[in-house]
Amino acid sequence: MIDLSRKKDGTNDTETFAADVAEGLGTSPKSLPSRYFYDATGSRLFQEIMALPEYYLTRCEFEVLQGNRQEIARHFFAADSFFHLIDLGAGDALKTKILLRELALQQNAFDYVPVDISGDAMRQLSDSLQQEMPSVDVQAVVGEYFKALEWLQEHKPERKIVLFLGSNIGNFKNDESISFLKSIRSNLSPGDKLLMGVDLRKDPDTILSAYNDASGVTAAFNMNLLRRINTELGGDFDLAEFMHYPIYNPHEGVMRSFIVSKKAQDVHIQATGQTFHFDAWEAIHTENSHKYSLKQIEELGNTCGFRIETVFQDTECRFADVLFTVD
């Protein structure tokens, strides 16, 4: 396993978290970065979200990958040369395993490079693949996407196929998704590919329900940000005085999640030594989840130096896995 997660400037994770929280809560309108959802509790809650009846995204992508695995494998093998299969934000790689099972039928054609910021997740994934698919060569990388891609470009000159599944691109703002895809592109060469999962535009009620489930799991996932600030940064958020509030804007195609303060209140955070005031009904913006039309995805790809090779979709056209090529 390759660990690129250590910071050069000597700051630790808690200090970075505290600085990001201070900045987000100190600015108007207030916000918190969605990457802080995923501590152990948040990751467990996200697993629960993926199993919710309302959260169609995961099941749809499963259907897309399951139904098209042979064709996807054909595209990957088409160039007939060894490749690195780089899985950005691999996590437990449940969906990638559908492809790996198919790809593993051809030995020595590729190695699997899962990339994730969680060292625990990468250790567990390496172990489970060793058990389930011992023939697959696994080279896990712990670190942020950019660093991992740069490292790979420098150390692994062979052909690359990048996976960015699960509609994780949706969390970026428009300009961020462009710079993200451009930086992926800058670490790829002609003939390399990107398979990206995107959630498509659809009935706004279907989208809203996916982020406002009846059992309240998504609410707990959102509020986990405040719980984390309490336990890790010595905050005194009273969770009962805040509420989860998601809203979908069909014009922009953006699902936004907020945490709303139910009353005027002050919150003290020990780690930053600051008190933050909330007006009654003041909101913290916590997440964006973009929904795309296929036309927008094509434009986004073209802007960043990618060309669409094939679009794979579920039968109801709710979700797409788009295969891009670098010319």
Q: Can residue 167 be called a binding residue for ligand AVJ (CB under 6 A)?
A: yes
Nearest to 72 by CA among 326, 280, 320: 320
The minimum distance between CB 319 and ligand AVJ, in angstroms, equals 11
Burial of 193 (0-12, 13-18, 19+ CB in 10 A): buried
Nearest to 244 by CA among 57, 49, 1, 8: 49
Q: Can residue 170 be called a binding residue for ligand AVJ (CB under 6 A)?
A: yes
The minimum distance between CB 172 and ligand AVJ, in angstroms, equals 10
Q: Can residue 166 be called a binding residue for ligand AVJ (CB under 6 A)?
A: yes
Question: What is the phi/psi pair of residue 281, to 5°?
Answer: 70, 15
Contact 5, 118 (CB under 8 A): no
Q: Which residue is nearest to ligand AVJ (CB)?
A: 289
What mask, x for binding ligand AVJ by CB under 6 A, covers residues 216 to 255?
A: --x--x----------------------------------
Nearest to 109 by CA among 77, 87, 78, 140: 77
Options 5, 43, 168, 325; binder of ligand AVJ; rule CB under 6 A: 168
Q: Residue 288: beta bridge partners?
A: 256
306: which 2 tokens? 């990618």
Options 21, 57, 99, 184; binder of ligand AVJ; rule CB under 6 A: 57
Within 190-219, the residues that bind ligand AVJ by CB under 6 A are 211, 218
- Which residue lies nearer to ligand AVJ by CB, 289 or 313? 289
Q: Which residues bind ligand AVJ (CB under 6 A)?
A: 49, 57, 166-168, 170-171, 211, 218, 221, 287, 289
